[in-house]
Structures are given as structure tokens and as C-alpha cells.
Amino acid sequence: MKFTPAQVATTWNRVMRSSPKEWATLEARCGPFQDELTGFVLGFTHHLSDDAQEIARDCMVACYELYREHFAAVRAATEDQITEQFERSDRRIADAAALVDAGYPAEQMFNGSPQPHLMAAVFEAVIGRDAEDPEEDDDPTLDDDELWDVVAVLDTVIAVLDGCAQTAPAP
């Protein structure tokens, strides 16, 4: 099942606009929901700037909530699944970065994702572009290396969650 733009927007906006108390609850559910995957995100972003780490965590929480809301069950990811997927994602995102550097649109990478609408939301969050007001640019700006590192980590999250999701959607 692919998420619709409406599903992504509704859940994404709810999560990102959560109160501090609601956010704490959402964040606290991450470890029990996907222990290995949460550890991967934290471990693979710990060397990045605080802004990059925060963006990765925020997007991870929103991704988890989408899968939690729209699938009946999501199996726990294994370390092997995550490692194998990260290798694929890292190569795919490195290729996309090279194409972007050559002048091609970044949106091309969404089609390579199992969840293109979710990947689009993640990419907008990472580059700091507000989809509703592209002229507003008060979000943190990541350097190119951090940007692509975070995108590769989050592409891994999406692909791994998609592989672990049970096919019967939640009611």
C-alpha cells in the first residue's frame, strides 16, 4: 500500500504541530515501536550538527506515526535488514545527489522510494522548505554533506518500515 498525499499531509502536520507534551509521548513510543531502527537513526546521525540530528529525529517520529496509523502491524526491523537497506539507500541517494549537482531536479529521487509522497515530505523537511510557503526560509539550513546524510538515513527508515509493514491496512 502506498500512502496518499492526503494521508501523509494529515499525519505529518499532526505530528509536526504536536504540543511539547504530545511530542514527548510520540518520541517515547519510538524505541518500543522500532528499537533497532531508532538506534540506527540516532547512531548514524550522532556526528552531525544538532540541527541535522533534530531534523532526522523529527522525521523519524513522523514516519513511524504514518506506519503506525495506516498499517495493521509493523514487524520489528532487524539489524541485518537495516544495514542492507542503508547500503542500498546510501548508493541511491549518492546517485541522486550527483544528479542534483548536475542540475537535475531533486524530486526524481521520490520515485525510487517505496513511499514517494512520504519521501517528498521528508525531503522538504530536510531542506527546510515549507511546502505551504516556499518563500519562508527560517528553518535550519544543513550543509550539503549533512543534508544527503540525513536523506540517506531517512530513506533507509522508509524502506525498512515499508518492508516490515503488514499488508492489511489499519481501519
Query: Which pLDDT value is given to residue 134?
Result: 46
151 touches 57 (CB < 8 A): no
Q: What is the pLDDT of residues 56-100, one digit of tens each?
A: 999 999 999 999 999 989 999 999 999 999 999 999 999 988 988
Average pLDDT over the chain, rounded to an integer: 89
38 touches 84 (CB < 8 A): no
Distance CA 36, CA 17 (A): 26
Query: Which pLDDT value is given to residue 128?
Result: 82
Q: What is the pLDDT of residues 47-56, one digit of tens each?
A: 999 999 999 9
3 state DSSP class of 136: coil
Asked if pLDDT for residue 132 goes beyond 50, the answer is no
Q: Is 43 exposed, middle or buried (0-12, 13-18, 19+ CB in 10 A)?
A: exposed
Asked if pLDDT for residue 107 goes beyond 90, the answer is no
Q: What is the pLDDT of residues 20-50, one digit of tens each?
A: 999 999 999 988 999 999 999 999 999 999 9
Query: Which pLDDT value is given to residue 84?
Result: 98
Query: Which pLDDT value is given to residue 131?
Result: 43
